[in-house]
C-alpha cells in the first residue's frame, strides 16, 4: 500500500505520473470522482499515457491515439494490454495497492 | 434426412453452385454429370492456354480429388439425355436412371457455328483444319494442328474471336480475323470504340481484320486451303477457327418438357417455371428475359441458388448489371451498361486519342452513370464499374471520371495482394483490414478504430473504405456515426450547434450530459467539442482542461519521446537579430537537442521536457506560435516589394498584419496561410488554406482550399481585391465561415470543394445570405478573446500542469545534434 499524495494533485478528468518502487504508474481521476491506475508507458511506442485524454472508461495515448480500457487494461485498438493497479481515495489521499 | 442433389453440368456454373452449397453446409448427397471427361476448369482461361501463357494444370478450378474429398459423385463423359420430372429421375444416353430430390441444370452453352458451305464433312464432323473454340478438347486440337500450319482465319470478331486470334499468333505466322458486323465487339462497343480497337489489333498485334465479312465457303478438298467471302474475296489459310458466338444448351430441357424460350426460364430463386425442385443456373438459364454469358452474374446466381436450396428464405436474384473489364487480345477494354445514348438528354462524355488507341465514352443520366466504354486504358475502369453498379453520385468535374487528376491511381481492392501496405502511416496491410472485416467488423470507422488504418495522415481513407466494402461483398455497413461531428455525440454539426445554443451548453462535460443518451463521456470527442464550444462561446466558454489534448494543455507539440517542441511566434517569418540572439541563448541555456527551421518560416526548439516549458517561455518572452493546435498557424511570406525586384505588393507587411489579427484562432483543422508579393508565388500561396498573391495594379488575389501536405490541391480563386484591408476582412470572414461549418478535422481542402467555391464566394464575398456582418462580428469576438497562452507560465491553470509524465527509461532516446 502506497500513499501517492493528495487527490487534488490530479485535476478532474486528467492523469499524473507517479514513480512507485521504480515503476512508472499513471493515475487518472475520472470525472465521476473515482481513480484508476495503469502502467504509465504505452506498450506501442512508449508514449506517456498520463498525458492522454480519458473518459470514464478508456485512456487514449497522446502519440498515436491507441486506446485502453482503464479497468481491464485491454486495448481497444489491437495493441497489447497494459497493467492495471488497485487504487482508491482515502480522506483526500491517493492509495495505491490492495 | 440427407437429400439427393443431382447437378447436370460440371462447368463453372455447376461446380460453383455446388461449392456455394458446401460452404453453407447444405445437407445433400451430390451427384454431378459432366459432358467433358475432366474436372471443372476455367473456360475463360482457354485463350491463355491457346496463347501458351498458361498450362492445363493452371486452368483447373476443381480437380478430381476435390470431388472425392467433398463426397461428390462425379460422372465425367456422361451426357444426360432426358429429365423425368414426375419420377424425379434423370437418364443418360445408355438409359441409366438417377433419382434426385433436387435437380440443378447447368448445361452452359455450345459454340454456334454458322451454316457455311464446306464447314462440315459428311459424317466426320468439321472439315479438316476447322475448329470451334469452346472446350479444352477444342483448344488442344487447335494447338496440335496449328503447330504445323502457317495461316489462320478466325471467324467472329467478338471477345472470343479476338482472344482466339491473339492466341493463334503463338502458333502460326499470319492471322486474319473476319467479322460479320460493321465493327469489332459490337455487343459491347459502339462503332467508334470498335474502330479504335480494330486499329490497335491491326497495328499493335499485326492481325488483319476484315469487317462486314460474310464467310460463304470453306475451300479445300481434303483439308482447308482457304475461305471465300460473300464478295468473292478468297483468303488463303490452313486453319479456320469458328468463334461466332455461343448458344445455350437447352435442347435436353426442352425435350423433357421444361419451359424453354431462348434459355431455360427461371424465377428469382433460379427455379425452373412450374417445377418446385428443378433449378437452372448459368449460361443456360433465362432470368427476367435475360441470358448472361459472363462470369460475374453466374456467381451471383450461384449464391442465390445456394442460399435458397439450403433453406435461407427471402433470397432473390434480381438480375445483374453487366460490366466487363478485361484485356482483349492484350488491349484493355471495359464496358458497362449502355453502348450509346438513348435520349437527347443523356449526357455523353467522350475522349478520343487515336494515336495511342485510347477511347473513353461515358453516358450519364440524372447524374448517374448508365453506360461506359473504355478502350486502350482501363485505369479508371474499377471506379467506373463501382459507380455504375451502385448508381453513385458523380463528381461535378466530369474529367475526374476518365482521368486521374492530381491524385493517386485508384486501385481496385480485388487486384491488390494481401500483404500490400494500405496505410503507410500506421503500417496496416490489406490482409489485416480484410481480417477485421471477416472477424465481424463491417463499418469503415470500426475497421479504422480496430486497425488504426487511415488514422495517420488520412490520405488512404478512401482506399480503406473500398477495401472494407470489397471484403464485405460490395458494401460496408452504414455507420450512423459517420455523419456525426464527433463520434461520441449522435448529431451532425448543424444539429449539435443548435442544441448547444438551445440548452446554453458552455462546457464539454455539459454537452455529454445533456446530449448523449446515458450521459456517457467520450475521450475521443472531447477535443472536437472543446474547439467547437470555444468557437461558439468565445470568452463565455467554460474551459475544462481535461477536454484539451495534451498539446493544448501545455501549449506545445508532443514529440515521439514525450518531450515537446517550442515554436515562438515569428509573424510573417520576419525576425530580428535581437530575437535570434534571444532564441540562441535560450536554446543553449536549456540544452535544446535540436534547433530547426520550420516549413512555416519559424524556429522550432525540439526536445524540451514539459517541466521546463514555463521557464523557457519566460526567458524567451515571445508569444506562442501556436505550432501545436488545430488553429491558425502561420502566415508564410516572401520578401515582397521592399527588397525583391519583382515584388508588386508588400507581402511581408500584409502577412504580419494577418498573423497579428488572427493569431491563435481555433478551428476544426489547422489553418496555414501565405502571402506572395507577385505571381511567382515564392510563399506557395496557391497551396495554402488561405493564400494571397499580389498582382500588378495594386490588387490581391485570394485563394482558398489549397494544400500541399499528404493531400495536394491548388486553392480556388475566391476573389481579387484592391486593398490589404479587404484581404484582411475577407480572410477573417472566410475563416469564420469555415470554423462554423466545417466538420471536425476537415481541412479547407475538403471543405471548399464540398461546399463549392462558387457558393463560398456568394456567401463570403457577395453576401448573398446576408450573414457577412455576423461572420465579421463573430471573428472579431474571437480575436478579442485571444490571450497568449504562454502567459500561463506564471499561473498554472491546473495543479501539476507542467509535471512530467515521462517514464524513466523506456522511451526512445533522441540523439542530440550538435
Indicate whether B602 belongs to any domain: no
Indicate whether A60 belongs to any domain: yes
Domain CATH for B363? 3.30.390.30
Q: What is the rounded CA–CA span in Å between residue B370 and residue B566?
A: 56
Indicate whether A44 belongs to any domain: yes
Which residues on B lie below 8 Å from A63 (Cβ)?
Answer: 558, 560
Q: ∠ CA B713-B717-B720 to the nearest 5 degrees?
A: 150
**Record: contact A11-B449, CB cut-off 8 A:** no
Count of A-B CB contacts under 8 Å: 109
Q: How far is CA A42 from the centre of its chain?
A: 11
b/e per residue, B134-154, with b = 16+ CB within 10 A?
A: bbbebbeebbebbeebebbbb
Pair (B259, B182) in one structural domain:
no
Indicate whether B766 belongs to any domain: yes
Print the domain residue range for B332: 323-402
Say if residues B324 and B331 touch (Cβ distance below 8 Å).
no
Which residues on B lie below 8 Å from A60 (Cβ)?
Answer: 523-524
Indicate whether A42 belongs to any domain: yes
Dihedral angle computed from the Cα positions of residues B623, B624, B630 and B631, in that order, rounded to the nearest 10 degrees: 20
Q: What is the rounded CA–CA span in Å between residue B75 and residue B91?
A: 12
Pair (B162, B254) in one structural domain:
no
Print the domain residue range for A78: 2-92
Q: What is the rounded CA–CA span in Å between residue B546 and residue B508?
A: 9
User: Is residue B567 exposed (0-12), middle (13-18) or buried (19+ Cβ within 10 Å)?
Assistant: buried
Neighbours of B75 (CB within 10 A): 16
| Domain closes at, from B483, B506, B538 | B483
Pair (B425, B517) in one structural domain:
no
**Record: contact B803-A51, CB cut-off 8 A:** no
Minimal Cβ distance to A45: which of B521, B547, B560: B560
| Three cell numbers written together for A57 | 472508461
Q: How many domains does chain A have?
A: 1
Pair (B164, B272) in one structural domain:
no
Q: What is the rounded CA–CA span in Å between residue B677 and residue B479?
A: 47
Q: Which residue of B has its CA nearest to A56?
A: B521
Minimal Cβ distance to B798: which of A14, A51, A67: A14
Q: Which of A50, A67, A71, A83 to mutate to test the interface with B (most CBs of B within 10 A)?
A: A50
Indicate whether B638 belongs to any domain: yes
Domain CATH for B436? 1.10.10.1100
Domain CATH for B680? 3.30.413.10
| Three cell numbers written together for B490 | 449522435
Say if residues B21 and B63 touch (Cβ distance below 8 Å).
no
Q: Which of B454, B525, B550 to mutate to test the interface with A (most CBs of A within 10 A)?
A: B550
Give pLDDT, residue A25. Answer: 92
| A46 at B interface, C-beta within 8 A | yes
| A45 at B interface, C-beta within 8 A | yes
Q: Which residue of B has its CA nearest to A17?
A: B805
Give pLDDT, residue B569. Answer: 95
Domain CATH for A67? 2.102.10.10
Pair (B42, B156) in one structural domain:
no
| A56 at B interface, C-beta within 8 A | yes
B67 phi/psi in degrees, rounded to 5: -65, -45
Q: How far is A51 from chain B (nearest CA, A)?
A: 6
| C-alpha distance from residue B444 to each of A64, B418, B597 (Å) | 19, 18, 38
Minimal Cβ distance to A54: which of B451, B523, B560: B523
Rounded mean pLDDT for each run of 10 residues along chain B, 818 residues in total: 92 93 91 89 88 87 89 92 94 93 96 92 86 93 92 93 92 95 91 91 93 94 93 95 94 94 95 93 95 88 94 90 78 89 92 90 93 90 84 83 66 79 85 89 86 82 87 77 91 95 96 95 96 92 95 95 94 96 97 94 95 94 94 95 90 97 95 96 96 95 94 93 96 97 94 94 96 96 92 84 69 50
* Residue B340: closest CA among B198, B191, B184: B191
Q: ∠ CA B517-B520-B525 to the nearest 5 degrees?
A: 110
Q: What is the rounded CA–CA span in Å between residue A28 and residue A12?
A: 8
| Domain closes at, from B483, B501, B527 | B483
Please count the helices (runs of H) and the strands (runs of E) in chain B.
25, 40
DSSP for B178-227, please give it.
Answer: E-SSSSTTTTT--HHHHHHHHHHHHHTT--EEESS--EEEEE-SSS--EE
Q: What is the rounded CA–CA span in Å between residue B500 and residue B535?
A: 12
Neighbours of B615 (CB within 10 A): 15
Pair (B747, B639) in one structural domain:
yes
| Domain closes at, from B483, B505, B528 | B483
Pair (B471, B523) in one structural domain:
no
Q: Where are the alpha helices (DSSP H) in B408-563?
A: 430-438, 444-451, 461-471, 493-502, 508-515, 523-537, 550-554
b/e per residue, B499-538, with b = 16+ CB within 10 A?
A: ebeeeebbbbbbbbeebbeeeebbbbbbbbbbbbbbbbbb
Indicate whether B142 belongs to any domain: yes
Indicate whether A97 belongs to any domain: no
Dihedral angle computed from the Cα positions of residues B590, B592, B596 and B600, in that order, rounded to the nearest 10 degrees: -50
Q: Which residue of B has its CA nearest to A53?
A: B523
DSSP for B683-694, please give it.
Answer: T-GGGSSEEEEE
Indicate whether A98 belongs to any domain: no
**Record: contact A51-B810, CB cut-off 8 A:** no
Domain CATH for B258? 3.50.50.60
| A63 at B interface, C-beta within 8 A | yes
DSSP for B634-684, please give it.
Answer: EEEE--TTTT-SS--S-HHHHHHHHHHHHTT-B-SS-EEEEEESSTT-TT-
Q: What is the rounded CA–CA span in Å between residue B686 and residue B203?
A: 44
Give pLDDT, residue B26. Answer: 86
Pair (B163, B38) in one structural domain:
no
Question: pLDDT for A17-40, tens place per residue?
Answer: 998 887 889 999 999 999 999 999
What secondary structure, in 3-state letters, does B142-174 show? HHHHHHCCCEEEEECCCHHHHHHHHHHCCCCCE
Q: How far is B665 from chain A (nearest CA, A)?
A: 22
- Beta strands B28-33; B3-8: pairing state: parallel
Indicate whether B30 belongs to any domain: yes
Sheet of A15-20: strands edge to edge? A15-20, A23-29, A35-39, A84-85
**Record: contact A55-B527, CB cut-off 8 A:** no
Indicate whether A14 belongs to any domain: yes
Say if residues B652 and B637 touch (Cβ distance below 8 Å).
yes
For B415: left if phi > 0, alpha if psi spans -120 to 50, otherwise beta; the answer is: alpha
Q: What is the rounded CA–CA span in Å between residue B709 and residue B174?
A: 54
Q: What is the rounded CA–CA span in Å between residue B557 and residue B603?
A: 14
For B216: left if phi > 0, alpha if psi spans -120 to 50, otherwise beta; the answer is: alpha
Pair (B467, B500) in one structural domain:
no
Q: How many domains does chain B have?
A: 6
Indicate whether A75 belongs to any domain: yes
Q: Which residue of A has its CA nearest to B800?
A: A9
DSSP for B594-623, please give it.
Answer: EEEE-TTS-EEEEEE-GGGHHHHHHHH---
Q: Which of A9, A10, A13, A49 to mutate to test the interface with B (most CBs of B within 10 A)?
A: A13
Pair (B448, B461) in one structural domain:
yes
User: Is residue B393 exposed (0-12), middle (13-18) or buried (19+ Cβ within 10 Å)?
Assistant: exposed
Q: What is the rounded CA–CA span in Å between residue B433 and residue A91?
A: 49
Tell me: pLDDT of A52 over 80: yes
Indicate whether B607 belongs to any domain: no
Which residues on A lie below 8 Å from B798 (Cβ)?
Answer: 11, 14
DSSP for B698-723, please give it.
Answer: TEEEEEES-EESSSEEPPEEEEEESS
Minimal Cβ distance to B807: which of A9, A11, A40: A40
Q: What is the rounded CA–CA span in Å between residue B404 and residue B387?
A: 15
At residue B490, the 3 state secondary structure works out as coil
Q: Which helix (H) or strand (E) holds B582?
A: helix B577-589
Which residues on A lie below 8 Å from B808 (Cβ)?
Answer: 19, 22, 24
Pair (B777, B704) in one structural domain:
yes
Q: What is the rounded CA–CA span in Å between residue B188 and residue B160?
A: 13
Give pLDDT, residue B327. Answer: 77
- Beta strands B151-155; B239-242: pairing state: parallel
Pair (B426, B525) in one structural domain:
no
Q: How far is A18 from chain B (nearest CA, A)?
A: 8
Indicate whether A71 belongs to any domain: yes
Neighbours of B270 (CB within 10 A): 27
Residue whose grid cell is 474471336 = B161
**Record: contact B546-A31, CB cut-off 8 A:** yes
CB-based contacts of B274, cutoff 8 Å, min separation 6 = B259
Indicate whether B148 belongs to any domain: yes
Which residues on A lie below 8 Å from B523 (Cβ)?
Answer: 52-55, 58-60, 67
Minimal Cβ distance to A48: which of B449, B553, B807: B807
Q: Helix crossing, B523-537 with B493-502: angle to 10°?
A: 60
**Record: contact A14-B808, CB cut-off 8 A:** no
Give pLDDT, residue A78. Answer: 81
Indicate whether B606 belongs to any domain: no
Which residues on B lie below 8 Å from A47 (Cβ)?
Answer: 562
DSSP for B225-280, please give it.
Answer: -EEEETTS-EEE-SEEEE-S-EEE--HHHHHTT--BSSSEEE-TT-BBTT-TTEEE
DSSP for B88-102, please give it.
Answer: TEEEETT--EEE-SE
Amino acid at each position: 500500500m502506497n500513499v501517492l499524495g493528495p487527490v487534488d494533485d490530479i485535476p478532474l478528468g486528467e492523469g499524473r505520473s507517479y514513480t512507485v518502487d521504480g515503476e512508472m504508474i499513471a493515475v487518472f481521476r475520472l470525472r465521476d470522482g473515482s481513480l484508476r491506475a495503469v502502467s504509465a508507458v504505452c506498450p506501442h511506442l512508449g508514449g506517456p499515457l498520463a498525458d492522454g485524454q480519458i473518459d470514464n472508461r478508456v485512456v487514449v495515448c497522446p502519440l498515436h491515439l491507441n486506446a485502453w480500457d482503464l479497468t481491464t487494461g485491454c486495448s481497444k485498438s489491437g495493441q497489447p494490454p497494459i497493467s492495471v493497479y488497485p487504487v482508491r481515495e482515502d480522506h483526500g489521499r491517493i492509495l495505491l495497492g490492495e | 434426412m440427407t437429400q439427393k442433389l443431382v447437378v447436370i453440368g460440371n462447368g463453372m456454373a455447376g461446380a460453383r453452385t455446388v461449392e456455394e452449397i458446401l460452404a453453407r453446409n447444405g445437407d445433400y448427397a451430390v451427384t454431378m454429370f459432366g459432358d467433358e471427361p475432366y474436372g471443372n476448369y476455367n473456360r475463360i482461361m482457354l485463350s491463355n492456354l491457346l496463347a501458351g501463357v498458361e498450362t492445363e494444370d493452371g486452368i483447373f478450378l476443381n480437380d478430381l480429388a476435390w470431388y472425392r474429398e467433398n463426397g461428390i459423385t462425379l460422372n465425367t463423359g456422361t451426357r444426360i439425355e432426358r429429365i423425368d420430372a414426375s419420377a424425379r429421375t434423370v437418364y443418360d444416353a445408355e438409359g441409366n436412371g438417377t433419382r434426385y430430390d433436387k435437380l440443378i441444370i447447368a448445361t452452359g452453352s455450345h459454340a454456334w457455328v454458322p451454316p457455311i458451305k464446306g464447314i462440315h464433312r459428311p459424317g466426320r464432323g468439321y472439315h479438316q483444319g476447322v475448329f470451334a473454340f469452346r472446350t479444352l478438347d477444342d483448344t488442344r486440337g487447335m494447338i496440335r494442328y496449328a503447330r504445323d500450319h502457317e495461316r489462320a482465319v478466325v471467324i467472329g470478331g467478338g471477345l472470343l474471336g479476338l482472344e482466339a486470334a491473339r492466341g493463334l499468333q503463338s502458333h502460326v505466322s499470319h492471322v486474319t480475323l473476319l467479322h460479320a458486323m460493321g465493327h469489332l465487339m459490337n455487343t459491347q462497343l459502339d462503332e467508334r470504340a470498335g474502330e479504335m480497337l480494330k486499329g490497335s489489333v491491326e497495328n499493335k498485334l499485326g492481325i488483319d481484320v476484315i469487317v462486314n465479312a460474310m464467310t460463304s465457303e470453306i475451300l479445300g478438298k481434303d483439308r482447308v486451303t482457304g475461305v471465300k467471302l460473300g464478295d468473292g474475296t478468297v483468303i488463303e489459310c490452313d486453319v479456320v477457327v469458328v468463334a461466332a458466338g455461343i448458344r445455350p444448351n437447352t435442347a435436353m430441357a426442352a425435350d423433357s418438357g421444361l419451359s424453354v424460350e431462348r434459355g431455360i426460364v427461371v424465377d428469382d430463386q433460379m427455379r425452373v417455371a412450374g417445377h418446385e425442385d428443378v433449378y437452372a443456373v448459368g449460361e443456360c438459364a433465362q432470368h427476367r428475359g435475360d441470358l448472361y454469358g459472363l462470369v460475374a452474374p453466374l456467381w451471383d446466381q450461384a449464391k442465390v441458388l445456394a442460399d435458397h436450396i439450403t433453406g435461407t428464405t427471402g433470397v432473390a436474384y434480381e438480375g445483374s448489371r453487366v460490366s466487363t473489364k478485361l484485356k482483349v487480345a492484350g488491349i484493355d477494354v471495359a464496358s458497362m451498361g449502355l453502348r450509346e445514348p438513348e435520349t437527347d438528354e443523356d449526357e455523353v462524355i467522350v475522349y478520343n486519342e487515336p494515336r495511342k488507341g485510347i477511347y473513353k465514352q461515358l453516358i450519364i443520366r440524372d447524374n448517374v452513370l448508365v453506360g461506359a466504354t473504355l478502350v486502350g486504358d482501363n485505369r479508371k475502369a474499377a471506379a467506373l464499374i463501382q459507380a455504375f453498379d451502385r448508381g453513385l453520385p458523380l463528381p461535378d468535374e466530369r474529367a475526374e471520371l476518365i482521368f486521374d487528376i492530381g491524385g493517386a491511381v485508384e486501385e481496385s481492392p480485388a487486384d491488390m495482394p494481401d500483404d500490400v501496405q494500405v496505410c503507410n502511416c500506421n503500417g496496416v496491410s490489406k490482409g489485416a483490414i480484410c481480417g477485421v472485416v471477416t472477424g465481424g467488423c463491417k463499418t469503415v470507422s470500426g475497421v479504422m478504430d480496430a486497425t488504426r488504418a487511415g488514422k495517420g495522415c488520412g490520405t488512404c481513407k478512401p482506399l480503406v473504405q473500398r477495401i472494407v466494402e470489397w471484403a464485405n461483398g460490395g458494401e460496408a455497413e452504414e455507420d450512423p456515426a459517420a455523419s456525426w461531428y464527433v463520434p461520441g455525440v449522435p448529431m451532425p454539426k448543424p444539429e449539435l450547434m443548435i442544441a448547444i445554443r438551445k440548452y446554453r451548453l458552455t462546457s464539454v462535460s455539459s454537452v455529454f450530459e445533456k446530449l448523449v443518451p446515458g450521459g456517457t463521456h467520450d475521450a475521443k470527442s472531447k477535443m472536437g467539442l472543446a474547439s467547437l464550444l470555444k468557437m461558439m462561446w468565445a470568452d463565455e466558454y467554460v474551459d475544462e482542461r481535461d477536454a484539451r489534448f495534451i498539446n493544448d494543455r501545455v501549449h506545445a507539440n508532443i514529440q515521439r519521446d514525450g518531450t515537446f517542441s517550442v515554436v515562438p511566434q515569428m509573424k510573417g517569418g520576419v525576425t530580428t537579430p535581437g530575437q535570434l540572439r534571444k532564441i540562441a541563448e535560450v536554446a543553449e541555456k536549456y540544452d535544446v537537442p535540436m534547433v530547426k527551421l520550420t516549413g512555416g518560416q519559424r524556429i522550432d526548439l525540439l526536445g524540451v521536457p514539459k517541466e521546463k516549458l514555463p521557464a523557457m517561455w519566460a526567458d524567451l518572452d515571445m508569444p506562442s506560435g501556436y505550432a501545436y493546435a488545430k488553429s491558425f498557424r502561420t502566415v508564410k511570406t516572401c520578401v515582397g516589394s521592399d527588397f525583391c525586384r519583382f515584388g508588386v505588393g508588400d507581402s511581408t507587411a500584409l502577412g504580419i498584419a494577418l498573423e497579428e489579427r488572427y493569431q491563435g484562432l481555433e478551428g476544426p483543422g489547422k489553418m496555414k496561410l501565405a502571402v506572395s508579393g507577385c505571381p511567382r508565388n515564392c510563399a506557395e500561396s496557391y497551396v495554402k488554406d488561405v493564400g494571397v498573391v499580389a498582382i500588378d495594379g495594386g490588387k490581391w488575389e485570394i485563394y482558398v482550399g489549397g494544400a500541399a501536405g499528404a493531400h495536394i490541391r491548388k486553392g480556388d480563386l475566391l476573389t481579387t481585391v484592391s486593398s490589404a484591408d479587404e484581404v484582411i476582412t475577407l480572410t477573417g470572414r472566410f475563416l469564420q465561415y469555415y470554423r462554423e461549418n466545417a466538420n471536425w478535422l476537415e481541412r479547407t481542402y475538403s471543405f471548399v470543394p464540398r461546399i463549392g467555391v462558387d457558393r463560398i464566394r456568394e456567401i463570403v464575398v457577395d453576401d448573398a445570405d446576408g450573414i457577412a456582418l455576423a461572420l465579421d462580428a463573430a471573428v472579431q469576438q474571437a480575436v478579442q478573446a485571444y490571450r497568449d497562452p504562454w502567459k500561463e507560465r506564471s499561473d498554472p491553470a491546473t495543479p501539476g500542469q507542467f509535471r512530467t509524465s515521462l517514464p524513466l527509461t523506456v522511451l526512445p532516446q533522441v540523439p542530440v545534434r550538435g
